[in-house]
Amino acid sequence: MNLKKVLEPDTIAVVGVSLSNPFNPATVIYNKNHLRTRAKTYCVNPQGGQLYGKTVYRSIAAIPEKIDLAILSIRAELVPETIKACIRSGVSGAIIISGGFSETGRTDLQEEIRALSVKNEFPVIGPNCLGVYSPPHIDSFFLPNERLVEPTEGTVALVSQSGGILVDQMIKLTQEGVGLSRAVSIGNKAVIDEVDMLQFFKRDRKTGVIGIYLEGFESERGRAFVDEVNRSSKPVIVLKSGKTPGGSRAVSSHTASIAGDYFVFSEILKESAAIEAKNEMEFVSCCEAFSTLPRQKMRNICIITSSGGHGAIASDGCYEAGLTIAEIPSPDRESLKKMLSGSIQNIASLTNPIDMTGSANDNDFVTATKFFLEKDYVDGIILLLLPYLPGLTSDIGARIAQFTREYKKAIITYIPHVVKYGIFIEGFESNGIPVAHSVEGAVSMASGLVRRQK
Amino acid sequence: MNPRVKKAITDSKSLGWIPEPLAKDLLQVYGLSTSRFVWAQSIEEALSGAREVRYPLVAKVVSPAIIHKSDVGGVVVGVRDDEHLTEVFRQFSKLPRFDGILLDEMLDGVEVIIGSQNDPQFGTVVLIGIGGTAVEIYRDVAIRMAPLSPKGALNAIHSLRGAALLTGYRGDKAVNLNKLKNLLVQFSRMAHQLREEVSSIDLNPVLCTDRKAVVADARFILREQIA
């Protein structure tokens, strides 16, 4: 089904606005789109009347213009008739915000919508969802803008069964400086599911990385999902919930007792081109790494640190994640030593992790980074920086970033995320180098890049 | 569907699973090698069957009431001679709904489990793992979607932590990986073809040596009929 007009509509009708309650979801959605998005937005309520001086139309058919997308926030029982009315009026698709379908036992209503949609090739997102965030065209989230953290524009597309988790991830990515292309909450996925969204985002020019939160595939759709992922040139990161085995089932074969739902999921995803993040932190880290380093390879890693402890935690993490820490040949250690500040030449430890010590300055980090970027035995660098050390200045990000243009190798940074160090972090992030807010986060980014190459 | 396969499934519908002799017969239809076996319903048949299988042999009870044979003492390994076999037959005949004795050749080799399952998210999946009784404890298994390509099958085998046990650990002979791979591929095709009727299959153990990979026991769990 063609989702173009659902994600980039020119005209929208919001059905179910309230003339008296400003917190009514449809009213919030109408206001948002009317005031802030590019699509021309109309509102519908069978009672008619006026809302903030604008005409409230009694039906979709009454709107004097062809509507691309209908957003429905009305009682579940009224949805099928309204969908029929949309189809009759030549609407190109719908988002059903309303709940009250399969999640409350009304599978019949959901089936009815599905049948209408499939028969008429009429794409439907939802029901029971937040819908679509696709700037500058549409934002169907019924959450007032002032309550949200405004995402920055970028290349990560998010798909989520849960609206709440979706908004959380949008906030977290924004706080990590990761920009979004679009986000879709698919709710009960009566028609459009993860596979359809994946198909769309694979071809979407604005999207470079696809992040998916999912609770489970229905009716063996996991098969189609794996096929799509394996034929995707864009990285796909999956965060799964529902890992807890659901009660004891009557099991009479060994295979059935071993092959529980999550175990199968995880095993099959591991073999696919998708990257399964084990938790939210890893999910955000992977989205961040791929949005800044979409093509870089990572296999043999060099860790450059300003403290031995940080280096040790990073190498433990790398070991656990199965990453290779490059061995530095002794002649190289000798040459690097001569290039460093006199004050650290005899205290720096130049076996990987490269511990520059707390006395190192910007020049030392820049020198060491360049030195290893030039070596064939290093594919990527994890840089662990502590802005409280006196020799470091906020120039370091911009200086290191010069190399990302010269060498096609990955640089991943860790800087503690406190407001005070914002200027250090921006120096990297605004120049295209991802900054993790924990050492583990930096390792997760590296591990994501490595897993992508399998 | 092959008439023998159809019959094995239809005959076992009410039981919910296919007893071992029929299950092995079904595997042979699909070209999977099984251990040499004889199904005997009387002591006379058993004694003459033993000539064919040859001592020492494995004796297993056949009963529609017994799905997990070893749990009820329904498997005796190393049956030596006619006297021993007679004794085992007498013991087995006391088990509920006794329907004969299965005489199986004694095989050695590395024990592997191969299985299939209909997964609600991914459809038919196959499993291969280092077998034996501890398979559910160690869970050293790989899971893939069926059907498998030869390359996918080999990759699954090599992904096991215990793969070294198959490729020759500490001077042991390596098992015939080609035979094991072919068995896995063929099995995955069969499981995929039978997915409407069969919900889960265990081939446990599959015994692997440097010469062959042979199914020593098999269990098919049928799909519950939708009322």
Give tens-digit pLDDT for A39-51: 999 999 999 999 9
Classify strands B198-208 and B110-119 as parallel, antiparallel or unpaired.
antiparallel
Whether the link from the prior residue into B205 is cis, omega within 30° of 0, is: yes
Angle between helix A222-230 and A261-271 (nearest 10): 20
Q: Taking the CA atoms of B104, B108, B109 and B110 in sequence, report the sign of the dihedral they define.
A: positive
Distance between CA atoms of residues B125 and B147, nearest Å: 8
pLDDT at A293: 84
pLDDT band at A249 (very low <50, low <70, confident <90, very high): low
Task: Give yes or no for residue A248 having a pLDDT over 70.
Answer: no
Classify strands A124-125 and A131-134 as parallel, antiparallel or unpaired.
unpaired
Cβ of B120 within 8 Å of Cβ of A220? The answer is yes
Is the CB of residue B135 less than 8 Å away from at least one CB of chain A? yes
Distance between CA atoms of residues A292 and A173, nearest Å: 13
CATH of domain B37-105: 3.30.1490.20
Share above pLDDT 70 across residues of chain B, in percent, rounded to a whole number: 99
Which CATH code, of 3.40.50.1820, 3.80.10.10, 3.40.50.261, 3.90.226.10, is assigned to A294-452?
Answer: 3.40.50.261
What is the CA angle A151-A157-A161, rounded to 5? Answer: 100
- One DSSP character per residue, B193-206 reads HTTTTEEEEEEEEE
Joined tokens for residue A403? 């190399």
pLDDT band at B173 (very low <50, low <70, confident <90, very high): confident
The residue with greater pLDDT, A263 or A371, is A371
Whether the link from the prior residue into A136 is cis, omega within 30° of 0, is: yes
**Continuous segment of H or E residues that includes residue A182:** strand A180-185
Phi, psi (deg, nearest 5) at residue B70: -70, -20
pLDDT at A251: 57
Joined tokens for residue A116? 């209408």
Q: How far is B126 from chain A (nearest CA, A)?
A: 8
Q: Which of residues 190-209 of B touch A (CB under 8 A)?
A: 199-202, 204
A277-307 as b/e, with b when 16 or more CB fall inside 10 Å? Answer: beeebbbbbbbbbbbbbeebebebbbbbbbb
Average pLDDT over residues A110-137: 97
pLDDT at A250: 56
**Using an 8 Å Cβ cutoff, are B194 and B200 in contact?**
no
**How crowded is residue A206: how many other Cβ atoms within 10 Å of its Cβ?**
16
Cβ of B123 within 8 Å of Cβ of A263? The answer is no
CA B191 from centroid of its chain's CA atoms: 14
Distance between CA atoms of residues A74 and A24, nearest Å: 10
A interface with B, Cβ–Cβ below 8 Å: 216-223, 226, 252-259, 261, 263-265, 267-268, 271
pLDDT at B172: 83
**Continuous segment of H or E residues that includes residue A41:** strand A40-44
Radius of gyration (C-alpha) of chain B in whole angstroms? 18
pLDDT at A131: 96
Helices (H), A176-292: 194-203, 222-230, 254-258, 261-271, 280-292
- One DSSP character per residue, A376-443 reads TT-SEEEEE--TTSTT--TTHHHHHHHHHHHS--EEEEE----GGGHHHHHHHHTTT--EESSHHHHH
Q: Does domain A149-244+253-292 have CATH number 3.40.50.261?
A: yes
Write out the residue limits of the CATH 3.30.470.20 domain(s) in chain B.
3-33+108-222
Classify strands A380-384 and A354-355 as parallel, antiparallel or unpaired.
unpaired
Task: Give yes or no for residue A266 having a pLDDT over 80.
Answer: yes
B77-120 pLDDT tens trace: 999 999 999 999 999 999 999 999 999 999 989 999 999 999 99
Cβ of B144 within 8 Å of Cβ of A258? The answer is no
User: Any idea where the domains of chain A sit in the sequence?
Assistant: 1-127, 149-244+253-292, 294-452
Cβ of B120 within 8 Å of Cβ of A261? The answer is yes
A191 Cβ contact partners less than 8 Å away, ≥ 6 residues apart: A1, A113, A114, A117, A118, A123, A124, A125
Of the candidates A273, A111, A52, A358, which has an alpha carbon nearest to the alpha carbon of residue A348? A358
pLDDT at A257: 80
Write out the residue limits of the CATH 3.30.1490.20 domain(s) in chain B.
37-105
What is the residue-averaged pLDDT of chain A? Answer: 93
Distance between CA atoms of residues B116 and B113, nearest Å: 10
pLDDT band at A243 (very low <50, low <70, confident <90, very high): confident
pLDDT at A210: 98
Residue from the list B17, B139, B143 with its beta carbon closest to the beta carbon of A264: B143
The CATH architecture one would assign to domain A1-127 is: 3-Layer(aba) Sandwich (3.40)
- End-to-end CA distance of chain A: give it in Å, rounded: 32
ipTM over the 0.90 cut-off = no
Q: Does domain B3-33+108-222 have CATH number 3.40.50.150?
A: no
**Continuous segment of H or E residues that includes residue A163:** helix A163-175
What is the residue-averaged pLDDT of chain B? Answer: 91
**Using an 8 Å Cβ cutoff, are B213 and B176 in contact?**
yes
pLDDT band at A436 (very low <50, low <70, confident <90, very high): very high
Q: How far is B117 from chain A (nearest CA, A)?
A: 6
3-class secondary structure, B7: helix
Cβ of B115 within 8 Å of Cβ of A253? The answer is yes
Q: Maximum distance among all alpha carbons in chain A?
A: 83
3-class secondary structure, A85: helix
In chain B, residues with a C-beta closer than 8 Å to the C-beta of A221 are: 121
Q: Which residue type sits at B172?
A: D
Share above pLDDT 90 across residues of chain A, in percent, rounded to a whole number: 85
In chain B, residues with a C-beta closer than 8 Å to the C-beta of A256 are: 115, 117, 199-200, 221
Q: Check for a shared fold between A149-244+253-292 and A294-452.
A: yes
Name the closest residue on chain A to residue B143, using Cα atoms.
Answer: A267
pLDDT at B227: 42
Task: Give yes or no for residue A294 having a pLDDT over 80.
Answer: no
3-class secondary structure, A98: coil
pLDDT band at A454 (very low <50, low <70, confident <90, very high): low
**Continuous segment of H or E residues that includes residue B128:** strand B123-130
pLDDT at A260: 80
Average pLDDT over residues A298-323: 94
A296 Cβ contact partners less than 8 Å away, ≥ 6 residues apart: A379, A380, A408, A409, A410, A449
Distance between CA atoms of residues A197 and A193, nearest Å: 6
Cβ of A258 within 8 Å of Cβ of B127? The answer is yes
Share above pLDDT 70 across residues of chain A, in percent, rounded to a whole number: 98
Distance between CA atoms of residues A216 and A193, nearest Å: 11
